[in-house]
Structure 1
Amino acid sequence: MTTMTEQATQVYSVFIRATPEQVWDGITKPEFTTRYFYGTKIDSTFEPATPYLSVAADGGETLVDGEIIESDPPRILRHTWRSLFDGETAAEPPSRVTWEIEPQESGVTKLTVTHDQLEASPKTAAGVAGGWSYVLSGLKTLLETGEPLQG
């Protein structure tokens, strides 16, 4: 896993033994996201200009909201991101998340997450800095083993 620590742009990459389609499903289907993405389900049609929501798995509060900017399954997903779980982060302007899925050799896929446009959102930048490595590790473990990172 690689990390660029520049606060305004954070880049994380991971290689996963899975097809691009499996990785796409892993980042877009609630039955996967609830098992590695802090117990949240992603709610979206993934059509441009539609909402992107990260909702507590129990159907409770929306923790992240945004809007789909670009969606090209299973290659790229780009959306805005506004953290709502804290009053200070909710008051900041939205940032942007890009998921890039690239097939590699031997059944491996490279997933790169770029979280940028964080210049005016320092609380969000600090909050997501440690989170993306955990999320991507959880996705990799789930897709490769069928089990979540933590039981």
Structure 2
Amino acid sequence: MSVQVHRVYIRTSPQAIWDAITKPEWTAKYGYTGLTDFDPKPGGRYVVHPTREFIGMGITGDLIDGEVVEVDPPRRLVLSWRMLMDPALKEEGFTRLTYEIVETKTAGTRLTVTHDLSGAPGLARMVAGEFDDPSAEPGQNAGGGWPWILSDLKSLLETGSPIVS
């Protein structure tokens, strides 16, 4: 799967989704967590730093890096995106990640994540959720990929709590 498209509808505003994607006080609360840090302009740096939980597990280096390609708050964010935590995935290089946020008339706000994973087969399997282990302890599953991240984001924004606390 060279290009993956994941979509979720969330009962919240486009601005709330934008903030949850771009502000570290939000990105530390859902998905795999991480402290997003980016310069919101084309050519700006994009980095995800480890949270205390990652540091406690011995992961002290940056988790993801890249560059801002396009930014149109609160509607669209395009990034070059590279996983740093795994040497093999880091070797696969940069991929292209696009967030599109559209307010609908009847279904809340639609968030579409398009991840172009051309040339990154290992990362493609991971972000597709192919390594999801339903028997894993809560919070210990590193394979739910975008489906799990977006489900967790939806839960957090709609209820105030992520799927796994």
TM exceeding 0.5: yes
Partner of 2:137: none
CA distance in 2 between partners of 1:119 and 1:148 (Å): 31
Deviations 1:49-68 (A, max 9, x none): 01111111127321111100
Q: Which residue of 2 aligns with 1:149?
A: 163
The TM-score normalised by the length of structure 2 is: 0.83
SS at match of 2:6: strand
Hey, what does 1:133 align to over in structure 2? 147
The alpha-carbon deviation at position 37 of structure 1 amounts to 2.9
In the alignment, is the contact (CA less than 8 A) between 1:18 and 1:107 conserved in 2? no
1:56 and 2:50 are equivalent in the alignment: yes
In terms of fraction of residues, the more strand-rich structure is: 1
Percent identity (aligned): 44
Instruction: Select which of 24, 32, 51 maps to 1:30.
Output: 24
Q: Does 1:120 align with 2:119?
A: yes
What 5-or-longer segments of structure 2 have no aligned partner? 130-144
* Alpha-carbon distance in structure 2 between the residues aligned to 1:120 and 1:47: 26
Structure 1 position 46, deviation (Å): 1.8
Q: Residue type of the partner of 1:124? A: L
3-state SS, counterpart of residue 74 of structure 2 = coil
Deviation at 1:119, TM superposition (A): 2.2
Check whether the contact 1:11–1:113 (CA below 8 A) recurs between aligned residues.
yes
Runs of 4+ in 1 over 4 A off after TM superposition: none
Q: Secondary structure of the residue that 1:25 maps to in structure 2?
A: helix
Q: Could you say which residue in structure 2 is the equivalent of 1:3? A: none
Q: TM-score, normalised by structure 1?
A: 0.91
